[in-house]
């Protein structure tokens, strides 16, 4: 079957090919059809295959060309963007410089021609242009030529003290600054008008007295400038001295009374002179490219294209590594001169690897499909034989669909199985002789395990909620005990972070309620878990009140202000979290505290923290399933993002509402309401249920005792009083050590214990010492026992707090009744008077039976080795562990010092059955060949081997006995089973 299906994939693939074949050729394929028959020649299939391959080859080449063209266009668009950017910057910088030149022309018109005498001379002009050169970084020099008519020439030359010179003479000589001598220039022939330079920047001293109208191209540019009134550019030419390419920008300087709409003739008549600026184009482009980070990737060329047949290169070389270019038009304000910037990539385009690999990949796939097609055609003769296999595969596929539908339930079961084992072992541990502290530890572990299972069930709960199949239980439970369990679950985390954790339940809330304790615990765990997760300082505070208390009690309202909180940190106003609840409206139902068990009890629970808060933009979606506040939250803090959405659904099922208020950097307060039934234990059934489901808190040993709490924060003192009063202790509260000392020493009542908040104790060391000394002087009564309430479980911190106080004991917060009872019992000498349990007798017997015994444990699982070794060492045995059957054979080869062996059955390479057979063969050989004196006076070698396995079926036990094992124990070990097996083995040996 594997060979037949290798080319077709599955039964569905075969059906598709058959249907396609029938539609093309219009006949059914019968069992008698074979390749090579008269109906279909093999050559036709070969032609079809060749046509298939040729067609796909052409298609792959077409795809290659398209992808390469697309890559080329993308590269071209990138070049265009880069070139346009450079052209824009180039043009902007040129326009800025042009504006500065025009401003100088206005300055000359105003202060030279409009004033008599002139306010500007050569020295003033040179000084001004030199000091303002930084405003024109692209201009190498500025010069001003005045318009002089022929009739004015002689008087002008006498006034200036020099003769007007020709421009052509200067250009031909190409003089340098050091070699320049104006007296050597030839006089200019007679013209109608002249334009000699009278003012020049210090960088252009050789232009003084030179007639700019005598140049080959300058005369035409000057004429165009004064007729148009705009800046006019010359053609690119080699600048004097620098020999670099440049252009001259010329502006006409007019009389001040020239109208804005003047005609060209009016402009000519109103012209006073001409102002020119020399632009070093090469320097300009170099500075432009230096400003761009990608200057090394693009080659830039600038051309003057005024002459369409002969472009003048202004910048750059013609060397290029790329085959295409982009041209960007440059507009410098002169409509006569045309300029363009050409850009090319410096590097040649890379190989189009994506196009090559894609086209080759498509061609390879086409070849494979052609091969599959050809092989499929050759197998059409066997289609009928494969139909049975196809039906079988169909059945398997349907079975797979059924398996998929059961996958969620199966995975849930497999995950729950080890957790149930953990919880079961903890339950067995509770049956041992434990003191109150140990019982509290076990209860905390049980609570943690249950919380873990609740997290595992979150996704399943979400599915049930969406399907509408989630139902609530109605059982009797103690709300305060549930909150104690949740406190125990988060106490270690809060102590590590230094966060104050507290719970307060109003006295008006009934002791017992009827509802779903598991779902209520799930809501509290989700809210407190989020608060602990996002709070690094301050506190997390849970309060439970009746709804009517919050509505009618002014005291509760005051406690919600930020000035009086658990840790003195400001908090978000809790009133805003429930102000929209229907339960607080006049139409909504208000639960009332009543003695009748039929009346509903409406509770309001708030979880307040001083954490990071929720960003304002994330608050509208806070109850959306699988949503996190930010993309890094799940990586930093973890979580599924469905805890709050499930909590909201559960609250709705409990006929309640949930809301929140959050201020970033201040904290959040989540508030929800629930409706329960009053669970007064009026019947024996309720009492029995209470004993079974809730931990029993025996407070009879504390009845009648009086305690004083010294704490200056009313909210924190109220929380401490709540937990202590649950033990039957009468509690008084004072705010400082002076009041506490007065209450203890006045003799009005006998104080049994004093609980001092760590912050009060550390505030004034002198007062603390005075308090301790005066407490020790009380002689008529027994001095009260002192306790310091600390917020950290660190032993060094606790010892520091109680150092110097001989009778003080540190109690770590958060407070809860069971932990508090254990601490008070230990410190005040009160002990639980429990009776020995029945399973103590096997334990004592095992201690006597295994003490001094040397036992070998064989198991390939390290965890199982640790568990088994710990169980046997607990009863005094000396344990050696090995991890394979071969090591067991080596360890038990006579002579050896082991009294017994616990052998795992399932191990790799060599299982426990085979190892036991080899050990028995070695013992038999040793007993028959070696004398007693050679084997440490052992006459018959036979080490007891006990099988260890989790399989408890009878067939496995029979196999153990058949291979030579002496006993059988199941995992995990129980004291009675160990005692029963080992006592019989050791007695028989």
- The predicted structure's pLDDT at residue 543: 94
- The predicted structure's pLDDT at residue 836: 38
Is residue 987's pLDDT more than 90?
no
Does an H or E element contain 155, and which? helix 150-160
Distance CA 258, CA 261 (A): 9
Residue 329: alpha-carbon gap to chain centroid: 49
Residues 6+ apart with CB under 8 A from 393: 10, 11
- The predicted structure's pLDDT at residue 414: 54
The CB-based long-range contact list for 886-891 (8 Å cut-off, 24+ gap) reads: 886/910, 886/915, 887/858, 888/856, 888/858, 888/915, 888/919, 889/915, 889/918, 889/919, 889/922, 891/856
Is residue 46's pLDDT more than 90?
no
What secondary structure, in 3-state letters, does 518-531 show?
Answer: HHHHHHHHHHHHHH
- The predicted structure's pLDDT at residue 3: 40
Residue 311 and residue 411 share a domain: no
Phi, psi values for residue 757, rounded to 5°: -70, 140
Residue with tokens 């104080």: 751
Residue 889: inside a domain: yes
Is residue 221's pLDDT more than 50?
yes
User: For 109, which DSSP code?
Assistant: I
Q: Which of 50 and 188 is assigned the larger pLDDT?
A: 50
- The predicted structure's pLDDT at residue 480: 92
Q: Give the end of a domain, one of 433, 463, 493.
A: 463
Residue 646 and residue 753 share a domain: no
Residue 243 and residue 221 share a domain: yes
Average pLDDT over residues 100-110: 88
Of 222-226, 399-403, 605-609, 958-962, the least confident: 399-403
Structure tokens that stand for 957 in this block: 């036990």
Question: Contact at 8 Å (CB) between 426 and 440?
Answer: no
Residue 332 and residue 261 share a domain: yes
| CB neighbourhood size of 259 (10 A) | 9
Distance CA 720, CA 753 (A): 13
| CB neighbourhood size of 166 (10 A) | 18
Is residue 323's pLDDT more than 70?
no
Structure tokens that stand for 366 in this block: 């086409």
- The predicted structure's pLDDT at residue 718: 93
Residue 487 and residue 430 share a domain: no
Q: What is the CATH number of the domain that holds 446?
A: 1.10.287.130
Residue 453 and residue 529 share a domain: no
| β-strand partners of 277 | 142, 249
Distance CA 580, CA 657 (A): 9
Residue 55: inside a domain: no
The count of structural domains within the chain is 5
Which of these, 512, 525, 453, 452, lies nearest to 484 by C-alpha position? 525
What does the angle CA 21 – CA 27 – CA 28 come to, to the nearest 5 degrees? Answer: 75
Residue 311 and residue 262 share a domain: yes
Percentages helix, strand, coil for the chain (3-state, rounded to 5) are: 50, 15, 35
Does an H or E element contain 817, and which? helix 817-828
- The predicted structure's pLDDT at residue 721: 92
Residue 478 and residue 459 share a domain: no
CA dist 413 → 227, 409, 420, 456 (Å): 97, 6, 10, 11
DSSP assignment string, 275-292: EEEEEEHHHHHHHHHHTS
Residue 604 and residue 527 share a domain: yes
Question: Contact at 8 Å (CB) between 693 and 513?
Answer: no
- The predicted structure's pLDDT at residue 727: 87
CA-only gyration radius of the chain, Å: 50
Distance CA 105, CA 255 (A): 11
Residues 6+ apart with CB under 8 A from 142: 101, 104, 129, 136, 200, 201, 204, 275, 276, 277, 278
pLDDT band of residue 29 (cuts 50, 70, 90) is very low
- pLDDT for 267-295, tens place per residue? 888 899 999 988 878 777 777 777 775 55
- The predicted structure's pLDDT at residue 542: 95
Rama region for 638: left / alpha / beta (φ>0; ψ in -120 to 50; rest): left
pLDDT band of residue 887 (cuts 50, 70, 90) is very high
Is residue 634's pLDDT more than 60?
no
Which of these, 309, 104, 123, 146, lies nearest to 205 by C-alpha position? 123
pLDDT band of residue 689 (cuts 50, 70, 90) is very low
Is residue 375's pLDDT more than 60?
yes
- The predicted structure's pLDDT at residue 934: 52
- pLDDT for 757-782, tens place per residue? 888 888 877 788 888 888 767 655 67
Q: Which of 327 and 562 is assigned the larger pLDDT?
A: 327
Percent of the chain whose pLDDT exceeds 70:
72
Residue 38: inside a domain: no
Q: What is the CATH number of the domain that holds 267?
A: 3.30.450.350
Question: Contact at 8 Å (CB) between 493 and 656?
Answer: no
Distance CA 416, CA 403 (A): 19
User: For 883, which DSSP code?
Assistant: S
Structure tokens that stand for 937 in this block: 């006076």
Residue with tokens 């170099």: 286
Distance CA 706, CA 728 (A): 9
- pLDDT for 786-797, tens place per residue? 899 988 655 444
- pLDDT for 654-668, tens place per residue? 999 999 999 999 999
Residue 454 and residue 478 share a domain: no
Residue 482: inside a domain: yes
Residue 500: inside a domain: yes
What secondary structure, in 3-state letters, does 693-718 show?
Answer: HCCCCCCHHHCCCEEEEECCCHHHHH
Percent of the chain whose pLDDT exceeds 90:
14
Rama region for 568: left / alpha / beta (φ>0; ψ in -120 to 50; rest): left
Residue 540: inside a domain: yes
Average pLDDT over residues 8-14: 44
**Strands of 536-646, DSSP E:** 539-546, 600-609
Is residue 878's pLDDT more than 80?
yes
**Strands of 554-616, DSSP E:** 600-609
Distance CA 98, CA 138 (A): 10
Residue 226: inside a domain: yes
Distance CA 846, CA 902 (A): 16
Which of these, 722, 763, 257, lies nearest to 484 by C-alpha position? 722
Distance CA 179, CA 185 (A): 12
Residue 97 and residue 153 share a domain: yes
| CB neighbourhood size of 588 (10 A) | 13
Residues 6+ apart with CB under 8 A from 25: none
- pLDDT for 350-366, tens place per residue? 888 888 888 888 888 88
Is residue 489's pLDDT more than 90?
no
User: For 214, which DSSP code?
Assistant: G
- pLDDT for 701-755, tens place per residue? 788 888 999 988 899 999 999 999 988 889 989 988 888 888 887 767 788 888 9
Distance CA 483, CA 505 (A): 9
Is residue 297's pLDDT more than 70?
yes
User: How high does pLDDT run on average in the chain?
Assistant: 76
Which of these, 212, 694, 175, lies nearest to 482 by C-alpha position? 694
Phi, psi values for residue 545, rounded to 5°: -135, 165
Domain range for residue 407?
395-463
Question: Contact at 8 Å (CB) between 284 and 302?
Answer: no
Is residue 975's pLDDT more than 70?
no
Q: What is the CATH number of the domain that holds 761?
A: 3.40.50.2300
Distance CA 654, CA 675 (A): 6
Of 473-482, 589-598, 888-897, the least confident: 589-598
Highest mean pLDDT among 79-88, 212-221, 229-238, 951-960 belongs to 79-88
Strand order of the β-sheet with 854-858 is 878-882, 854-858, 900-904, 945-949, 967-970
Which of these, 301, 296, 324, lies nearest to 71 by C-alpha position? 324
- The predicted structure's pLDDT at residue 645: 86
- The predicted structure's pLDDT at residue 411: 57
Average pLDDT over residues 373-388: 73
Question: Contact at 8 Å (CB) between 711 and 762?
Answer: no
Q: Which of 215 and 42 is assigned the larger pLDDT?
A: 215
- The predicted structure's pLDDT at residue 409: 47
Is residue 610's pLDDT more than 80?
yes
- The predicted structure's pLDDT at residue 181: 54
Residue 288 and residue 235 share a domain: yes
Q: Are strands 706-710 and 730-734 parallel, antiparallel or unpaired?
A: parallel
- The predicted structure's pLDDT at residue 594: 42
Does an H or E element contain 913, and which? helix 912-929
Q: Which of 507 and 749 is assigned the larger pLDDT?
A: 507
- The predicted structure's pLDDT at residue 722: 92
Of 40-49, 111-120, 872-881, the least confident: 40-49
Q: Give the end of a domain, one of 309, 326, 345.
A: 345
- The predicted structure's pLDDT at residue 293: 56
Q: Are strands 945-949 and 148-149 parallel, antiparallel or unpaired?
A: unpaired
Residues 6+ apart with CB under 8 A from 675: 589, 591, 600, 601, 602, 603, 654, 655, 656
First to last CA, the chain: 59
Q: Give the end of a domain, one of 812, 828, 844.
A: 828
Distance CA 673, CA 670 (A): 11
Structure tokens that stand for 896 in this block: 């050896």
Highest mean pLDDT among 432-436, 517-521, 778-782 belongs to 517-521
Residue 764: inside a domain: yes
């Amino acid at each position: 079957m594997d060979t037949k299906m290798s080319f077709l994939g599955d039964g569905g693939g075969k059906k598709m090919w058959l249907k396609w074949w029938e539609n093309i050729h219009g006949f059914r394929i019968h069992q008698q059809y074979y390749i090579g028959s008269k109906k279909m020649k093999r050559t036709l299939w070969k032609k079809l295959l060749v046509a298939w391959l040729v067609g796909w080859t052409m298609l792959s080449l077409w795809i290659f060309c398209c992808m390469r063209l697309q890559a080329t266009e993308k590269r071209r668009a990138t070049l265009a963007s880069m070139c346009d950017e450079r052209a824009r910057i180039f043009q902007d910088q040129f326009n800025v410089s042009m504006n500065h030149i025009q401003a100088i022309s206005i300055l000359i018109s105003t202060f030279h021609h409009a004033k008599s005498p002139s306010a500007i001379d050569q020295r003033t002009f040179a000084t001004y242009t030199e000091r303002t050169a930084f405003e024109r970084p692209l201009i190498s020099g500025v010069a001003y030529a005045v318009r002089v008519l022929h009739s004015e020439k002689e008087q002008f030359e006498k006034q200036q003290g020099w003769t007007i010179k020709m421009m052509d003479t200067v250009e031909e000589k190409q003089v340098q600054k050091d070699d320049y001598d104006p007296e050597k220039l030839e006089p200019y022939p007679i013209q109608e008008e002249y334009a000699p330079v009278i003012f020049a920047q210090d960088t252009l001293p050789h232009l003084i007295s030179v007639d700019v109208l005598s140049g080959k191209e300058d005369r035409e540019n000057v004429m165009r400038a004064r007729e148009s009134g705009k800046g006019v550019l010359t053609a690119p030419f080699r600048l004097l001295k620098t020999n670099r390419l440049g252009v001259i920008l010329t502006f006409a300087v007019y009389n001040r009374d020239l109208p804005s709409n003047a005609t060209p003739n009016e402009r000519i008549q109103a012209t006073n002179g001409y102002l020119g600026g020399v632009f070093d184009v090469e320097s300009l482009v170099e500075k432009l490219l230096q400003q761009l980070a990608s200057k090394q990737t693009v080659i830039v060329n600038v051309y003057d294209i005024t002459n369409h047949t002969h472009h003048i290169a202004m910048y750059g070389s013609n060397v290029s590594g790329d085959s295409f270019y982009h041209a960007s038009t440059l507009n410098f304000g002169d409509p006569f001169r045309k300029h363009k910037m050409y850009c090319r990539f410096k590097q040649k385009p890379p190989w189009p690897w994506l196009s090559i690999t894609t086209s080759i990949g498509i061609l390879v796939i086409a070849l494979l499909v052609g091969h599959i097609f050809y092989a499929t055609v050759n197998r059409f003769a066997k289609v009928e034989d494969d139909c049975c296999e196809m039906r079988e595969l169909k059945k398997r596929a349907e079975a797979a669909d059924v398996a998929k539908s059961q996958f969620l339930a199966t995975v849930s079961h497999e995950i729950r199985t080890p957790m149930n084992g953990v919880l079961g072992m903890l339950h067995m541990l509770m049956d041992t002789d434990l003191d109150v502290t140990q019982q509290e530890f076990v209860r905390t572990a049980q609570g943690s395990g249950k919380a873990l299972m609740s997290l595992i069930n979150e996704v399943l709960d979400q599915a049930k909620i969406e399907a509408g199949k989630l139902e609530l239980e109605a059982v009797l439970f103690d709300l305060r005990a549930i909150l104690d369990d949740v406190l125990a679950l988060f106490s270690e985390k809060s102590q590590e972070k230094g966060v104050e954790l507290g719970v307060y339940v109003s006295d008006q809330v009934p002791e017992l309620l009827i509802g779903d304790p598991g779902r209520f615990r799930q809501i509290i765990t989700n809210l407190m878990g989020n608060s602990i997760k996002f709070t690094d300082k301050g506190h997390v505070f849970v309060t439970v009140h009746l709804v009517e208390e919050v509505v009618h009690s002014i005291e509760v309202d005051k406690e919600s202000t930020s000035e009086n909180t658990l840790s003195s940190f400001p908090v978000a106003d809790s009133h805003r979290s429930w102000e929209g609840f229907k339960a607080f409206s006049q139409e909504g139902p208000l639960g009332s505290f009543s003695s009748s068990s039929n009346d509903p009890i409406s509770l309001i629970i708030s979880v307040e923290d001083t954490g990071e808060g929720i960003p304002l933009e994330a608050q509208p979606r806070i109850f959306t399933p699988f949503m996190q506040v930010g993309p890094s939250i799940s990586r930093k803090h973890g979580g599924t993002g469905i805890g709050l959405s499930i909590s909201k659904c559960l609250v709705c099922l409990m006929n309640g509402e949930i809301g929140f208020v959050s201020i970033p950097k201040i904290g959040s307060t989540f508030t929800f309401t629930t409706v329960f039934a009053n669970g007064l234990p009026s019947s024996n059934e309720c009492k029995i249920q209470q004993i079974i489901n809730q931990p029993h808190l025996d407070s009879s040993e504390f009845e009648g005792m009086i305690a004083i709490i010294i704490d200056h924060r009313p909210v924190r003192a109220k929380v401490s009083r709540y937990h202590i009063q649950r033990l039957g202790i009468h509690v008084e509260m004072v705010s400082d050590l002076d009041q506490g000392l007065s209450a203890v020493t006045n003799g009005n009542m006998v104080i049994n214990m004093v609980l001092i908040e760590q912050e009060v104790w550390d505030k004034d060391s002198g007062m603390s010492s005075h308090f301790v000394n005066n407490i020790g002087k009380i002689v008529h009564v027994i001095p009260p026992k002192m306790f310091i309430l600390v917020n950290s479980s660190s032993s060094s911190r606790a010892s520091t707090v109680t150092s110097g106080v001989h009778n003080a004991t540190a109690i770590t917060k958060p407070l809860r009744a069971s932990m508090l009872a254990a601490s008070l019992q230990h410190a005040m000498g009160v002990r639980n008077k429990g009776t020995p349990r029945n399973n103590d007798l096997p334990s004592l017997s095992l201690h006597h039976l295994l003490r001094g015994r040397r036992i070998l444990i064989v198991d390939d699982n390290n965890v199982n080795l640790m568990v088994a070794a710990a169980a046997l060492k607990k009863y005094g045995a000396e344990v050696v562990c090995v991890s394979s059957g071969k090591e067991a054979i080596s360890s038990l080869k006579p002579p050896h010092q082991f009294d017994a062996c616990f052998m795992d059955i399932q191990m790799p390479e060599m299982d426990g059955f085979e190892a036991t057979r080899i050990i028995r063969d070695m013992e038999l050989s040793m007993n028959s060949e070696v004398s007693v004196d050679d084997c440490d006076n052992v006459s018959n070698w036979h080490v007891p081997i006990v099988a260890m396995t989790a399989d408890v079926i009878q067939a496995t036990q029979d196999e153990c006995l058949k291979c030579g094992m002496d006993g059988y124990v199941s995992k995990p070990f129980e004291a009675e089973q160990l005692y029963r097996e080992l006592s019989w083995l050791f007695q028989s040996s």
